[in-house]
Amino acid sequence: MVKINGKEAADVCGMTVSQYLSANYYNPKHIVVELNEEILPKTEYDSTAIADGDVVEILSFMGGG
């Protein structure tokens, strides 16, 4: 099972990070992906497949004032 943002995610194994982000309407310009406690470079989103046992955190930038 894969965990994404602390929740179990079904049917994501084998998807690339880019495919997952696109399917869930994330804008890669406004987020950072952490895969198994390491920041994943944006250049690797297309080539990195999500595998069973992975822990993914998607961090969004928020502006404020």
The whole-number pLDDT of residue 65 equals 63
- Examine the pLDDT at 27 and tell me if it is beyond 90: yes
Q: Domain containing 19: what range?
A: 3-60
> Whole-prediction pTM value?
0.91
- Examine the pLDDT at 5 and tell me if it is beyond 80: yes
Residue 65 lies in a domain: no
Residue 45 lies in a domain: yes
Question: Structural domain tally of the chain?
Answer: 1
Provide the CATH number for the domain around residue 52: 3.10.20.30
Q: How far apart are CA 27 and CA 11, in angstroms?
A: 21
Residue 12 lies in a domain: yes
pLDDT digits (tens, 9 = 90+) for 30-52: 999 999 999 999 999 999 999 99
pLDDT digits (tens, 9 = 90+) for 53-64: 999 999 998 777
Q: How far apart are CA 2 and CA 38, in angstroms?
A: 16
